[in-house]
Structure 1
Amino acid sequence: MAESGAPKPKPRPIVRIGIFLISHSLLLSVFCCTAGVLGLLLLPVLAKNTYISENALMPGSAHPMLSSQDVSQANEFVKEITNLSLKPEGTGIRITGLIAQHMANLGAEVSYHKFHPILSKFHPLHFFSGPDPGIIQENCSCSAIGINAVGIIRAPQGDGKEAIVLVTPYNSVNLSHGEALSLGIASSLFSLVTRVTWLAKDIIWLAADSQHGEYASVADWLRDYHTPLFGGLAKLNAEMCHESSYLYDLKKSPATGAEVSDEFRRAGTMAAALVIKVADRNEEIERDTLSIYAEASNGQMPNLDLVNIVNYLAVHGQGFSVKVEKLWSLLDSKWLKVLGKTFESLGKVAGSFNPQWKFGVPVADYVEGTATLASSLYRQALGVPTGPHGPFRDYQIDAITLEISPKVSSIKKGRQNEFLLRGGRMVEGVIRSVNNLLEKFHQSFFLYLLTSPSKFVSVGVYMIAFALLVAPLPMVAAYLYSDAHKQDFSSEKDELTSSPASVDDPAITFKSWKWLPAAKTVLVVHLWSVIVTLLPYFIGQIPNGTPKNNLLMWVLLSAFSLLALRTILGSSFSVISISQLQKKEWALLKSVMISAAFIGLCLMSVINFATAEIGALLIVPMCLMATPLRFDVKARSLRSITRTACNLVLAFVGFPPTAYLLLKDLFGGFGSVNVGDFWNWAESLWVWNSATYLYVCMVHLPCWVLCVYILLHHC
């Protein structure tokens, strides 16, 4: 029989570590949050040079085969299509017919693809899916119908199971010179691939009619490509649309012997897609510039190898100046330059101890890298595609948009052939690299942030900053719960010593369930957030609503629904007395709220890391600092006054419309303030099915409401 005075066994090491972390949660919270912000600022320093992971790509290993003859034919095509665009009547559909006829003359299998514009309405049942074919405009006019021209070159060395897509968006109603040049680049490449012997993948040229938007035409074609389609262009009523007879005349014309079909044609599985655009700029630039746009819906990115081969071939092959989007407002930031000098000095000190410690970058590189990183983080966080390449990522197809900005002087002086030759050879090199692949892109990264066209930060590095930011949340939640439980236990012990109550008293047994009212309050607020998320669907049914009126109605209905839920379901803290408040009953609410915020941030990091990272920068300090203002006002110490000021500032900044305006000022320039801007921004998120909208309404907003509830607790 064991002795009654035997020492209790020590807990396991992991349990002791957990107890130590929880007991020192305040110190660890300050350390982790500081380290998380510092880690985010260190990402440009920790960025690595890009490299080709897949050896089979071999960019630049073959000599370009695009000849001057191909470019001359393309230049003639550009002139012909430009002259046709100057004619006043029937321009749009005639341009489409001319493109299709040109494809057929080059030896391609050509077909037309008709699509209807999609209505931009919020529909909660189709949030995470693509646009429903049924959500189209009924009884739309002929002018509201877009027609794409699609040409396919079958690979002589292939089996028809894989394909590479070239997309050239153009406005058939108002064709610009840049769009004509992009069509010329694709035409020169099509002329080349019809006679080469090394082609192992089919080549698809999609001339996308962008009169209703670049995204809509590509997305509709992709949806029809991956789903059965019954009927073709014949569904278009020729009697209603008189201009459509021109397309039928072309199809039946025996002038060239080429045939244009109205049936939907398909090739193999798409290995990659390139969207080719030529920018129309009026300002002079020193060199031809290539801008790469890679962000798709919900922060999805193409495989980094695709970006790498484009950057390599553009810089080393054709001498382009490659750029990715950057946050221009940060380039002149003084505090960023001071921070860059600090990191540069620390890098020199570290290098003096060990030359292998390559820490620190020049100030100019750090500032530019930070501006590029911020832009990459912001565009991924929005969850909105940055170009027509966006629909491809919804089908797990690697795609990017290449926007070429030519020197204005080179085009004006008749050097158009040279520009078409350089642009065509660059795209030819990308096609040859992708053509060498025996499988889909998989070797390199899919989760990354760019700091320059040739530098990136991988997921294994940037996740550390996010992990440090959210790490204090579970520790503080456990500390608040244990602290409240200790105080309850001490008060119960005093009651037991002063009253003859039995140990089996139900009033004592169920004291451990005191967190249930707090959980009920958090649940009610999150149920309310679901209502707030769905309200725009009903507000959108009101005709002729302005953004300002819609936003005001959204706010009023949200406030009314919160009061109604509180009345119907009740408030768990409505009957708490002042004596109970002194026992820190609010701490249980804060503990459950922090736990819910932690779960929401972790789930969002799986869907869209950039949104979770920016959200953590706003939510985590607000959650950790939230304390009833009543206590701080009574204390009247320097610490309490500072905490009160911080709570008020964080509550103001954390309010979603305020946070939007501040981020708009930081990332896009402030400009004029309009009350309806927040509605327009939210509308753009739900139109593009961005999960950021769900995060703002169902994670950020309820967390802000609960923090304000704690601040105003019994004030």
Structure 2
Amino acid sequence: MLPKKAHRRSRFESSSMASTPETEDQKPKHRPIIRIGIFIIAHSFLVSVVCCTAGVVALLLLPVLAKKTHVSENALMPGSASPMIADRDVFGANRFLNELTSMKLKSKRTGIEIPRLIALHMANLGGEVSYHKFQNQENKFHPLHFFTSQDAGANRVNRTCESYATNTVGIIRAPRSDGKEAIVLVTPYNPVNLSQNEVLSLGIAYSAFSVLTQVTWLAKDIIWIAADSQYGEYNSVSAWLKDYHTPSFGGSRKLHGNGCHKSNDVHESKLDIIETEVSDTLRHSGTMAAALVIKVANTGEEGGQDTLNIYAEASNGQMPNLDLINVVSYLAVYGQGFRVQVEKLVSLLDSKWLKFIGDVVETVGIIARSLNPQWKFGIPVKEYVEGSATLVSSLYNQALGVPTGSHGAFRDYQVDAITMEISPKLSSTSKGRQTEFLFRGGRLIEGAIRSVNNLLEKFHQSFFLYLLTSSNKFISVGVYMIAFLLLVAPLPVLAASLYSDANKSNPESENEPFKSWRWLYPTKTVFLIHLWGAIVSLLPYFIYQIPDSQPTSRLLIWASLSLFILTVLHSFFKARSVQWALLKSVTVSTAFVGLCVMSVINFATAEIGALLLVPMCLMIKPWRVAGKLHSALNLVLVIIGFPGAAFSVVKSAFGFQEGSTLVEFWYWLESLWAWNSATYIYICMVHLPCWVLCIYILLHSCL
């Protein structure tokens, strides 16, 4: 007889032994989310095709998904008050214009006389006037100052009289303010070669400045900057902003000190009086709530409307709050009868393939409304084509990372700013038309300032991340990110699929994952190639040290040094054979990470980069593994994926091809690094290394 405990133990052991064969045949059940992940990885090719196709379709449908703009901040109340600008304000502006014109025609020393004349009129209106002197600054690439402001790495020339320019700054102290907030008006002009359009822009600012010195509702100070743009519109505003935000102690600077531009002409006796009332020390106000840059462009079409062009893109794709654009657009259209537009890519307006897509969208919309009248899908062909042309222009300007005007200098200090460029009708040269033009321009500026004056806090209600398809339609970040996410979604799926296939081909790695070194060598290869990209991004700084070098020679030196460094680094990983599937898995993973990081910095650059990089990373295979058709497709994708080739293809497709392609490409790169554009970092440290790795995978059996 066995004891009871032993009897129970023997029964348990026999039952467990009996159930063992059944459990071994059954696979362990995973959680639903894990089973979905395994299914997606197992069908990575199908997922990649579906996601990439859906991403391109979503990108083409963005003009259809655009929404109407509206003012989100109720406190702005655009157009709620009647304009207060009167005949005397416009009469004074006309007199100011006549004096500017006569001085431009008679005097030979307008470089200093025009700023003094502007200061005289600012002071007569009751403003606190000061001069701001700054030097000519040359944009130059410097790696240590790359992510600082645009002028941080500038090269200052010798301090001579000719290198100085003078901004004239007038400040209106608000009667209902403690001086802690301000609104800025900027009128760029070239005192050495003053044009009639610049005279008109100064006149519009004068009429608005005149009425703002008399109103009682002003709660924020008004700063009017007559920006000396002989060295560039951006440089003048950027220099003033830098000095405005940098504390200075003592050291007054005379406008015509050190013998610069000093004159004893009797004609200037009236201007000399104002020198006692104008400070040579920079005057300050409070935090800037918003800034408006006023410009007058060339005349428009005969008999057409006055047109207002709005430019908003700043460095690295930064945009002002959408409410600022909405307020100006609303006041211009419904208050002053302007035709408001934003920049569009004109060459796309006659595109046949874009019109074909518009026809398809319009037809689908008609069918959808016939099935259900509440389905408001689809837009007319003309509206789709114009929206697409505007969308492409907005994407390009944001991806370029270069400001489209001097308003970009304000975004570097987190100040919402736009450039308002007014194009009058051809008949604006007449005296009566000029008076009307000054009236309407002054009312527009007054209305915009009055709306911003109502704010008790900074702009925050509306969007900062958006794309424009017209002056009154936009695409928010929640919509346009869908296309990007669909494009990059196949990358981690493919990386996981390659990892799974590698483990299946080598079962020992599943049992000893930490003892397998197979992943070390492809990771080392990818790291060295990205290190090469970082070195390539720094080469222009040293190339610029070569005296008297031409753009073509600089580009050839850059390409030669890059190839030489790549050859040297290649010797570190060519001795060890790297499995191409593992190398592709790591390459795809780094491309995914790089694109996602870039989408946070500049979405437009990441979107365009994904269109070029994702198909290449997904399709690339070695020559021996891929078939003939697949190899030909790989070759086409690799050629188009090269930054220089992609630049040439885009320029040719959009009708921008002018001069030598190599020289144009070098100038384009110069503009990127001179303006500290993050697109340059993306090209050198993400796109170019991934392209080289794809070449390495393509030629894997030959290396």
Shorter-chain TM-score: what band? over 0.9
In the TM superposition, what is the alpha-carbon distance from 1:281 to its structure 2 partner?
Answer: 3.8
Deviates more, 1:224-233 or 1:391-400: 224-233
After superposition, the Cα gap between the structure-2 partners of 1:37 and 1:93, relative to the gap in structure 1 and judged at 3 Å, is same
- Asked whether 1:521 is paired with 2:495, we answer no
- TM-aligned CA distance change 1:229 to 1:381, over 3 Å: same
Whole-Å separation in 1 of the counterparts to 2:427 and 2:157: 47
Which of 321, 329, 332 does residue 311 from structure 1 map onto?
329
Provide the residue aligned with 1:482 in structure 2: 500
Q: What is the correspondence of 1:24-423 to structure 2 with a 5 Å cutoff?
A: 24-131=43-150, 135-231=154-250, 234=253, 238-243=257-262, 253-254=272-273, 259-281=277-299, 284=302, 286-412=304-430, 414-423=432-441
Which residue matches 2:575? Answer: 574
Following TM superposition, by how much is the alpha carbon of 1:482 offset from its aligned partner in structure 2, in angstroms? 1.0
Residue 565 of structure 1 pairs with residue 569 of structure 2? yes
Give the 3 Å change call, closer, same or farther, for CA 68–586 of structure 1 in structure 2.
same
What amino acid is the match of 1:441? Answer: F
Task: Measure the CA separation in 1 of the matches of 2:205 and 2:54.
Answer: 49
Q: Is the 8 A contact 2:300 2:307 kept in 1?
A: no
Does structure 1 residue 688 correspond to structure 2 residue 661? Answer: no
Cα distance, 1:627–1:100 mapped onto 2, change above 3 Å: same
Does the CA-based 8 Å contact 1:177-1:280 persist in structure 2?
A: no
What is the rounded CA distance, in whole Å, between the counterparts of 2:451 and 2:312 in structure 1?
18
Is 2:638 aligned against 1:651?
yes
Q: After the TM superposition, which of the residue ranges 111-120 and 225-234 deviates more from structure 2?
A: 225-234
User: Cα deviations across residues 675-695 of structure 1 (Å, max 9, x unaligned)?
Assistant: 221111111011111000000
Structure-2 residue corresponding to 1:556? 560
Paired residues of 1:93 and 1:244 also in contact (CA < 8 A)? no
* 1:392 match: secondary structure: helix
User: What one-letter code is carried by the residue in structure 1 that aligns with 2:562?
Assistant: S
Q: Deviations over 1:83-122 (max 9, x none)?
A: 1112352111110111111101110000000111222210
Kept after mapping to 1: 8 A contact 2:487/2:610: yes
Counterpart among 689, 692, 696 of residue 702 in structure 1: 689
C-alpha separation in 1, matches of 2:644 and 2:171: 48
SS in 2 for 1:444: coil
Map of 2:534 onto structure 1: 530
Which portions of structure 1, spanning 4 or more consecutive aligned residues, are displaced by more than 6 angstroms?
A: 249-252
- Between the aligned residues of both structures, percent identity stands at 65
- Aligned residue identity for 1:627: K
Instruction: Kindly provide the CA deviation profile for residues 371-390 of structure 1, in whole angstroms up to 9, marking residues without a partner as x.
Output: 00000011000000000100
8 Å Cα contact 2:112/2:261 also seen in 1 = no
Match of 1:627 in 2: 621
The separation in 2 between residues aligned to 1:393 and 1:244, in whole angstroms, is 39
- Shifted more, 70-79 versus 663-672: the winner is 663-672
Q: Deviations over 1:571-602 (max 9, x none)?
A: 1x5343xxxx8xxx200000000000000000
Note the alpha carbon deviations across 1:124-165, whole angstroms, 9 max, x for none.
111111145674424232122111000000001112111100
- Partner Cα separation in structure 1 for residue 426 and residue 513 of structure 2: 81
| Count of residues paired in the alignment | 681
Instruction: Give the structure-1-normalised TM-score.
Output: 0.92
What is the Cα deviation at residue 509 of structure 1? 6.7
Deviations 1:244-280 (A, max 9, x none): 899xx989955x7971001110111100000000013
Instruction: Check whether the contact 2:623–2:701 (CA below 8 A) recurs between aligned residues.
Output: no
Q: Distance in 2 between matches of 1:428 and 1:421?
A: 10
Give 3-state SS (helix, strand or coil) of 1:642's partner: helix
Amino acid aligned to 1:529: G
Q: Does 1:617 align with 2:611?
A: yes
Q: Structure 1 regions of 5+ residues with no counterpart?
A: 494-502, 633-639
Task: Say if 1:629 and 1:170 are closer, same or farther in 2 by CA, change over 3 A.
Answer: same
1:619/1:700 contact within 8 Å kept:
yes
For 1:114, the aligned partner's letter is: K
User: What is the CA distance between 1:642 and its match in structure 2?
Assistant: 2.2
Native 8 Å contact 2:139 2:155 kept in 1: no
Rounded Cα–Cα distance in structure 1 between residues aligned with 2:396 and 2:589: 26
Asked if the contact 1:547–1:677 (Cα under 8 Å) also holds between the matched residues in 2, the reply is: no
User: Partner amino acid for 1:625?
Assistant: M
What code does the residue aligned with 1:614 have? I
Q: CA deviation at 1:243?
A: 3.3
SS state at 1:261 partner: coil
In the other structure, the counterpart of 1:591 is: 585
* 9-18 or 210-219, larger mean C-alpha shift: 9-18
- Give 2:575's aligned amino acid: S
- String of CA shifts for 1:609-631, please: whole Å, max 9, x gaps: 00000000000000001000122
Distance 2:43 2:303 in 1: 57
Alpha-carbon offset, residue 286 of structure 1:
1.1
Secondary structure of 1:671 counterpart: coil
**Aligned equivalents of 1:609, 1:388: Cα separation in 2:** 22
Is 1:437 aligned to residue 455 of structure 2? yes
SS in 2 for 1:174: coil
| Aligned partners of 1:251 and 1:260 also within 8 Å | no
Instruction: Render the CA deviation track for 1:169-189: whole Å, top value 9, x for unaligned.
Output: 000110000001100011111
Contact kept? 1:113, 1:233, Cα under 8 Å: no
The residue that corresponds to 1:637 in the other structure is none
- Cα distance 1:234–1:482, how it changes in 2: closer, same or farther (>3 A)? same
RMSD: 2.1
Q: Is the 8 Å Cα contact of residues 139 and 154 (structure 2) preserved in structure 1?
A: no
C-alpha contact (below 8 Å) 2:308/2:420 kept by paired residues: yes
Unpaired stretches in structure 2, ≥5 consecutive residues: 1-12
Structure 1 residues 143 and 414: alpha-carbon distance in aligned structure 2, compared to 1, 3 A threshold:
farther
Structure 2: how far apart are the matches of 1:208 and 1:257?
19
Cα 1:641–1:245 change in 2 (3 A) is farther
8 A Cα contact 1:90 1:243, kept in partner: no
Instruction: Provide the rounded CA distance (Å) in 1 between the counterparts of 2:351 and 2:470.
Output: 18
TM-score calculated relative to the size of structure 2: 0.93
What do residues 417-445 of structure 1 show as CA deviations (whole Å, max 9, x unaligned)? Answer: 00010111111110110011111000000
Classify the secondary structure of the residue corresponding to 1:714.
helix
Matched residue of 1:198: which SS? coil
Q: What SS does the corresponding residue of 1:275 show, helix, strand or coil?
A: strand
- CA gap 1:593/1:251 in 2 versus in 1, 3 angstroms: farther
Task: State how far apart, in whole Å, the 1-side matches of 2:186 and 2:432 are.
Answer: 26
**Structure 2 Cα separation of the partners of residues 284 and 627 of structure 1:** 59
State the SS of the aligned residue for 1:545.
Answer: coil
**Aligned counterparts of 1:708 and 1:590: Cα–Cα separation in 2:** 11
* Gap change, CA 1:708 and 1:133, over 3 Å in 2: closer
The one-letter amino acid paired with 1:94 is E
Cα drift, residue 240 of structure 1? 4.3
The equivalent position to 1:427 in structure 2, one of 427, 445, 452, is 445
Mapped contact 1:250–1:260 kept (Cα < 8 A): no
